[in-house]
Amino acid sequence: MRAFSFFLTLLLSFSGFGQDLKLMHPMHPVVDFSEGDVALSPNGKIIGIASRTGVRLHDAVSGKLLNMVDVYFAHSISFSPDGQQIAFSYQNSIQILDLESDEIIGQYEADSPCFSVTYSPVSKEIAFYSGAQLKIWNFITGKSWVLEDSKHAHHCRLQGVVESDDIQYTPDGKYLLTIPNKTCSTGVTAKLFDIRMKALVKHYDISEYSFFGMHPNGDELVILSSDNKLLLKDFKTLAQKRAIQLSGSYEALEYIPGTNKVLVTNLGQYSNAPVFIVDLLTEEIRRKPSLKATKMLVLNSGKVLTNRLDVYDMNSGESEAFLKTDVYDVERVFFSEDFKKFIIRPRGKDIRLIDDGFNHLVTFPASFYKSYDAVAMPANKDFTVTCAASDVYFWNNATGEVMKKYSGLLEAYYRKEISKDGQFLFQFDRGGEGFSCFSLTDGAELFSHQPASYQMGGNYSGAFSPDNEYFIFGRRCSYDCDAGVEPSETEQKLAVGIWSLSFHNQIRQFPTPHPEGIIQNIEFSPDGNYIFTDSNNEPLIYMWDLMGTALKHFEGWISSLSYDGQFLVAFNNIGADFSTIVYDVRTGKKVQSIPVGGRAFVTRDNRHLISVRASRLEVWELSTGLLKFTYYLAGTSDWVALTPEGDYDGTPDGLKEIHYSDGFRVYPLNWENDKHYKPGLIQNILKL
């Protein structure tokens, strides 16, 4: 079984290197292991990160990517004692990846999510928590057993951080220490288990300790006490060997590799905390500049990696990005009225205009905070319309400069929709009843509606008809969703409303069978004859005629409709398994499914599907469901594209974002002399 899904699977042999190398795709720029885990290889050269975006291995010095396993929401990660394997958990599964062969060589399926995956230092066993159970898995024999069933979960999520109880082996592998995480655990007892006897042999009351753990030498316990002392106690007898007075109360302690020193601080996402380096032999304490992190990994005597992948320098207090990348996170994609162009909006970066052959046309400078509400690109026009907060902007598609601006026209916190031809703008109070419509030709308000008093429900989503004759609302009913209270008949009738933009009145409203009456997405078909709705609490799309008669339903949530209206694109998930589904609107049948979720669009010629992933666009062939290439943004106008077979193309600066790796080291890309560099790659695939 291969470790990669969209990942590049081609193994390239270079006589100069004498080994197989893999082409590494650009790195995801937004990674935070607050909800996951981080580990350092035994030799200190590789950093393993488990996070929402999967499992990634990075060179500890350069930050460059060495390997990746594309799974959804990895929980924990551990290196084998020899550094040749990693074990990681995601959902209810634990997998073992051999770093040299790049093969998954072991897999364990549990009944509950798995946390705190920990290799035994001497045997072929892995300890972990699954639900309320502490378990041991022998990955050679495949056998597993429960060491303890505590009747309570061993992990929790608190303020965006996932914490779990700790597991530590003694260096000889004979004993295993479990330590409750005081952030979320109800337990105040650490426990020591004899692995050979599979028995509990000792309890430790840690109610008065803010930190409790085993020294790497296995002979001592290191403790932060409630009276602000760092204590060293004998592992077996608990006889106190040393007490070091600290200047305050601290709860986080990390060992500095290769030394007899520890870093002591507090963790939190809102404020900086003092940092102290404590020598456990001489009892010397040195204060360092403050640090802010929810989780951390000490790399060496001078560097700390924080959960946001910043490298903190203990001496200067300065931080720098661990990932040296100009790749941008793709937040949204907007297609033009005629589907011949599209705009990509990277997270926090300027939007850029791309043609249907993925050629970069222009980047609109200083545009992110001028475009986050709505974007429209009229067909056969030389401008793009965007809005954000109370302002509307018209951009020149050739120069990228602002041509015209309406300042203070809109309500800052209203939701906005711009008609596809850029002629009108509709804004509405999301969750309320107020709305107004504007002509974008001159900025005049055409009409507005403000109810005299609060009414049941509220407008939640909306869309223009293709001819701009109507505007449809998806309503949000006001009732207790969590309690599962069914909406009244009156509330249900507010589910969909159709307003005439010519006569400024509501001409129809109709109920829907969505379970709680909340219309999350609503769309007109391209011919204007049908309406599509979905609910935020049920993966089910309904197709309606304009009379309010339900015609069909489709599984999933609305993603998009094809240019000609032939296809409906939906996304769905069952547990952690995401999928994008393409339906034939006329027959209601599924015509294709790909194993990724999120927004997706069918190209104008109906040959390809463009899926919007976190740091990239993936282009899939609609007829076969095969991934054809992956497209990444870099810098202000650069890009790089890669195929599953290992071919690639890009701008010179874009190509700087990729390299080769053998799983342990980084090898620079010499693209000018590489047979897998294919100029014109995208155009050849799209047959343009």
Domain boundaries, the chain: 30-207, 213-324
Exposure string for 170-197, b = 16+ CB within 10 A, e = fewer: beebbbbbbbbbbebbebeebbbbebee
What is the pLDDT, as a whole number, of residue 210? Answer: 93
pLDDT band at 457 (very low <50, low <70, confident <90, very high): low
Question: At a CB cut-off of 8 Å and minimum separation 6, what does 409 contact?
Answer: 390, 391, 392, 438, 443
Any bridge partners for residue 87, and if so which? Answer: 78, 96
Q: Do domains 30-207 and 213-324 have the same CATH topology?
A: yes
What is the pLDDT, as a whole number, of residue 167? Answer: 96
In angstroms, the CA 18 to CA 84 distance is 19
Q: Is a pLDDT exceeding 50 seen at residue 76?
A: yes
Give the pLDDT mean for 411-417: 94
Number of continuous H segments (helices) and E segments (strands) in the chain: 3, 64
- Give tens-digit pLDDT for 115-142: 999 999 998 999 999 999 999 999 999 9
CATH fold of the domain at 213-324: Methylamine Dehydrogenase; Chain H (2.130.10)
pLDDT band at 622 (very low <50, low <70, confident <90, very high): very high
If phi over 0 gives left and psi between -120 and 50 gives alpha, with beta otherwise, what is residue 171? alpha
pTM, 2 dp = 0.85
- Give tens-digit pLDDT for 165-197: 999 999 999 999 999 987 777 778 999 999 999
Exposure string for 99-129, b = 16+ CB within 10 A, e = fewer: beebeeebebebeebbbbbbbbeeeebbbbb
Q: Is a pLDDT exceeding 50 seen at residue 313?
A: yes
CA atoms within 13 A on the CB side of 625: 11
In angstroms, the CA 260 to CA 278 distance is 9
Q: Is a pLDDT exceeding 90 seen at residue 631?
A: yes
How would DSSP label each residue in 335-360?
E-TTSSEEEEEETTS--EEEETT--E
Q: Is a pLDDT exceeding 50 seen at residue 657?
A: yes
Name the CATH superfamily housing domain 30-207. YVTN repeat-like/Quinoprotein amine dehydrogenase (2.130.10.10)
Cα 645 versus chain centre, distance: 25
Residue whose C-alpha is closest to residue 38's, from 198, 153, 213, 162? 162
What is the pLDDT, as a whole number, of residue 4? Answer: 38
- Give tens-digit pLDDT for 344-386: 999 889 999 999 999 999 999 999 999 999 999 999 999 999 9
- Give tens-digit pLDDT for 465-500: 999 999 999 987 544 434 445 555 555 556 899 999
- Give tens-digit pLDDT for 217-240: 999 999 999 999 999 999 989 999
